[in-house]
Structure 1
Amino acid sequence: MRFQFLLVSIFSFCLVAIPADAGQLASWKFDAGRNRLDFKTNAGVQPKAVMLFNPTRLVVDLPGISFPKPTVTQRLTGNFRTLRVGQFDSSTTRIVLELQPGYTLNPKRVQFTGENPIDWYVTIPVPERGATTLPTLSPQPNLPR
């Protein structure tokens, strides 16, 4: 009887220890001509964004979304330097769009639009030459209707 109780206890512990499947980043694309970042996940997500400086970059976090690959870096042209996609922590994928040195953008004009909980696009204002000391603000995503 004791052995059965021990076996049931171990089995129950193993079930609790199995991590829940997180959603994954399915695709992303930056269209420099339209200053637009599109991304798609295979599970619903509520993205969060912030502007960081030195170097100036737009950071988009996707909580509850995993990226099971090494960090991917894409070189960009024009006012944008790179786009990086990687796993920020155990439950958050991070997309970083870095601007060329000397450029900045108004974070109040960054617009998130969710076509549905898994399809999102971020409209980014045209970067401008100038000081990079704008206040750090988090744009609020427009939720799908």
Structure 2
Amino acid sequence: MQRYQSWPGVVGAGLVAMAATVSPLPAQANAVDAYKFDAAKGTFEFRTDTDVIPKAMLLQNPTRVVLDLPGIQVKNPRKEQNSSGPLKEIRLGQFEPGTARIVLEFKPDYQPTAGQMNVRGISYRNWVLEMPRN
């Protein structure tokens, strides 16, 4: 697996796995354009319409990955349930003015560690969270 160490760089240590779901979002400036979870690959991909460097955190109780996106706005928050793979739900919302947040909440039996997850930039607008597969 190729890892990018330069320009967008490695943002954080590992993260989440999902079922092939593509969610195009309504057009707006400085926004998340689309995201996709692929449980078979153990990846969560997202795209923004402007450059961003996400901040990633793995939190517990419940186990979840939080991706903060500085400079990104969310006008229509979303919450999607997921039935396959380790992902319970995906939430997209406005954490604070000027920072969007994506939350990937896992099912109780999936307990990854930060060292098992990786956020890598394909470009400043395209990012992939790689996580261990069940």
In the alignment, which of 55, 74, 80 is matched to residue 67 of structure 1?
74
TM-score, structure 1 as length reference:
0.67
| Alpha carbons 1:71, 1:87 under 8 Å: kept | no
Q: Distance in 2 between matches of 1:63 and 1:115?
A: 18
Aligned to 1:78: 85
Higher relative contact order (CA 8 A, sep 6+): 2
The reply on whether 1:38 has 2:32 as its aligned counterpart is no
Matches within 5 A, 1:1-145: 23-126=30-133
The CA RMSD over aligned residues, in Å, is 1.7
Rg (Cα) greater in structure: 1
What secondary structure, in the 3-state scheme, does the structure 2 residue paired with 1:122 have?
A: strand
Q: Of Structure 1 and Structure 2, which has the larger fraction of its residues in helix?
A: 1
What secondary structure, in the 3-state scheme, does the structure 2 residue paired with 1:108 have?
A: helix
Q: Percent identity?
A: 37
| Alpha carbons 1:22, 1:91 under 8 Å: kept | no
Deviation at residue 22 of structure 1 after TM alignment = 6.0
Gaps of 5+ in 2: 1-27
Gaps of 5+ in 1: 1-20, 128-145
Q: Report the number of matched residues.
A: 107
Q: Distance in 1 between matches of 2:83 and 2:50?
A: 28
